């Protein structure tokens, strides 16, 4: 299978590329190395497989429809995995136009490139943020998702609707995977688990927004990658599927888990809740289990321990190169 993977040098994309190469697929990676965080982190993400004979990296933008069409044709791609996005709820609140341009227009450009090149298989990243502050817990894929609380959430819901239209009109097989807060090695530096770990290791205060009772379903990167792989292999029709972790934990509980893994007690800097943040994310995974056999295996306790071990090793590695 030859797969065009957008966002290939990012956190999830780099882990997925490693797994796709390991099981024998060819990966054409597209990434624009934008400035949302240090682009050199992305180059470091792909360092281990950059010279792999079945991997090719193209620096480019998903909004460049001519480029995407050329890649699909030239490499005879049969499947697209679309992970590229302007990420983050809080970033989208301060830069809504940029978020919508990349996430909505970029997805439309990709779908159009697929249409004109007759590539009709797509797995794309959506987000648990589309549920907003749903009163139905756990969140099910057939719940209403028409009250997004941030431009990011709206952009992801728009992507799902665009995808459905292309499935309906042009017969695309599409799986939209609603990811629930993915974490693990290479996680983006502004994400809570990365930021808290760095602050605890450096014995700095941790900034918490709200009262600590907000809760998230955290998904370890290995489980997310396995969900994407299963979706690729089971791709048929149009599916919205939750890809989440085994359980949800509060912000208080998360900090306690990181404290134990790092070995330091946190000093908390409490701040008001942030616009766009939801109170709870909680995934009903029964449909994903039924449709693609998805079942997460890494508990939040084990995942945090793995992440902190990696973070310390990565920190030591970087210090030896200074």
Residues identified as active-site: 152
Burial letters 198-212, b for 16+ CB under 10 A, else e: ebbbeeeebebbeee
Count CA atoms within 13 Å of residue 97 on its CB side. 0
Query: Are 122 and 82 spatial neighbours (Cβ–Cβ below 8 Å)?
Result: yes
Query: Are 25 and 79 spatial neighbours (Cβ–Cβ below 8 Å)?
Result: no
Which tokens sit at 92?
């989208």
61 SS3 class: coil
Q: How far apart are CA 290 and CA 287, in angstroms?
A: 5
Residue listed under structure tokens 């590229």: 84
Q: How far apart are CA 147 and CA 80, in angstroms?
A: 29
Other Cβ atoms closer than 10 A to 112: 15
The widest CA-to-CA distance across the chain, in whole angstroms, is 56
Q: How far apart are CA 12 and CA 183, in angstroms?
A: 9
Considering only CA atoms, which of 170, 97, 163, 108 is closest in space to residue 130? Answer: 163
223 SS3 class: helix
CA-based R_g, the chain, Å: 19
Considering only CA atoms, which of 29, 26, 25 is closest in space to residue 14? Answer: 29
Residues contacting residue 194 through CB under 8 Å, at least 6 positions apart: 183, 187, 188, 311
Considering only CA atoms, which of 89, 299, 319, 321 is closest in space to residue 201? Answer: 319
């Amino acid at each position: 299978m030859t797969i065009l993977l957008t966002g290939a040098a990012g956190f999830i994309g780099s882990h997925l590329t490693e797994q796709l190469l390991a099981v024998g697929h060819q990966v054409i990676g597209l990434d624009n190395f934008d400035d949302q965080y240090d682009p050199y982190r992305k180059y470091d993400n792909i360092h281990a497989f950059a010279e792999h004979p079945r991997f090719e990296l193209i620096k480019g933008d998903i909004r460049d429809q001519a480029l995407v069409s050329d890649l699909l044709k030239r490499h005879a791609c049969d499947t697209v995995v679309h992970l590229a996005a302007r990420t983050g709820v809080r970033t989208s609140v301060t830069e809504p136009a940029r978020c919508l341009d990349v996430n909505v227009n970029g997805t439309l450009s990709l779908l159009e490139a697929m249409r004109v090149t007759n590539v009709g298989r797509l797995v794309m990243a959506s987000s648990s943020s589309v549920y907003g502050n749903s009163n139905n817990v756990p969140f099910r894929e057939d719940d209403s998702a028409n009250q997004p609380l941030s431009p990011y959430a709206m952009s992801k819901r728009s992507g799902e609707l665009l995808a459905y239209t292309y499935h309906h009109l042009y017969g695309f097989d599409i799986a939209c995977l609603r990811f629930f807060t993915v974490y693990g090695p290479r996680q983006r530096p502004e994400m809570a688990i990365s930021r808290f770990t760095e602050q605890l290791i450096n014995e700095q205060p941790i900034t918490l927004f709200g009262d600590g009772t907000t809760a998230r379903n955290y998904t370890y990167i290995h489980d997310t990658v396995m969900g994407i792989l299963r979706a690729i292999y089971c791709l048929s029709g149009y599916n919205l599927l939750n890809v989440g972790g085994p359980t949800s934990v509060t912000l208080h509980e998360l900090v306690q888990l990181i404290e134990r893994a790092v070995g330091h007690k946190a000093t908390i800097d409490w701040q008001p809740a942030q616009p766009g943040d939801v109170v709870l994310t909680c995934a009903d995974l029964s449909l994903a289990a039924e449709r693609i056999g998805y079942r997460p295996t890494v508990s939040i306790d084990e995942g945090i321990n793995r992440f902190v071990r990696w973070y310390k090793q990565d920190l030591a590695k970087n210090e030896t190169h200074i």
